[in-house]
Amino acid sequence: MLLQIENLLSAEQVVRFQGALATAPWEDGKSTAGYQSALAKHNQQLPQTCETARTLGEEIEQALAANLLFQSAALPARIFPPLFNRYGGGHSFGLHIDNALRPLPGGGRLRTDLSATLFLSDPDNYDGGELLIEDVYGLQSVKLPAGSMILYPATSLHQVTPVTRGARTASFFWIQSHVRDDSARAILFDMDMALQRLRGEVGDDHPSLISLTGAYHNLLRRWADT
Ligand code: NI
């Protein structure tokens, strides 16, 4: 399932992020690529330990914690501290798949169930830089307004097309979900969205709504790992 999360960041946050990233210490992006994807990766990235990456990353994590659409779709158990990349002057990232396990900065490893890209540049300010994702419905081309995010299964082949004008800055990270299987997660998400709409129509205490909510939680209990 591909899901677009509009305005994860506010307009004020986007302007502040763009200002901070303009003067950040960018370096070659191969440093975090797996062996195979390093061959395809041509971009710049912020060191994980730099102050800008750390403070903006924390702000993104707070926005994710407060975003009900993200919480419902991802059912996050753990989120990798957000990374930042920049593509300009013909930079691209060829077709690849993300590593299944990511070493966490504090130790341990995160299983990458979902990948996320948060767009931080105004699309009018660069050409190219589409995120192409292969999903069950075919190749999807994604280029979102600054502050909006795409969430997609980390099992998907994907690439970033060359940026031929301007620069494309984004944050990217992975999520380990309580529900590993993408199709199970999609069912839970559909149910939760329908329950929220129904709640608006019939009120919190309608008996059918209560029993359907119970069914949702029983499915989640069955499918969730911790
Ligand atoms: Ni990737």
105 Cα to the center of ligand 1, angstroms: 19
pLDDT digits (tens), the chain, 226 positions? 899 999 999 999 999 999 999 999 999 887 666 666 676 788 899 998 899 999 999 999 999 999 999 999 999 999 999 999 999 988 888 899 999 999 998 899 999 999 999 999 999 999 999 999 998 889 999 999 999 999 999 999 999 999 999 999 999 999 999 999 999 999 999 999 999 999 999 999 999 999 999 999 999 999 999 7
- Token reading at 15: 């302007």
193 Cα to the center of ligand 1, angstroms: 28
Check residue 8 and give its pLDDT.
Answer: 98
Q: How far apart are CA 69 and CA 65, in angstroms?
A: 10
97 Cα to the center of ligand 1, angstroms: 6
205 Cα to the center of ligand 1, angstroms: 44
- Token reading at 74: 């991802």
What is the pTM (predicted TM-score) of this model?
0.94
206 Cα to the center of ligand 1, angstroms: 44
Q: Of all helices (H) and strands (E), which one includes residue 28? A: strand 27-28
**Amino acid sitting at position 208:** S
Check residue 140 and give its pLDDT.
Answer: 96
Residues whose beta carbons lie less than 5 angstroms from ion ligand 1: 98
73 Cα to the center of ligand 1, angstroms: 20
Burial of 10 from C-beta contacts in 10 A (0-12 / 13-18 / 19+): exposed
Q: Of all helices (H) and strands (E), which one includes residue 17? A: helix 11-22
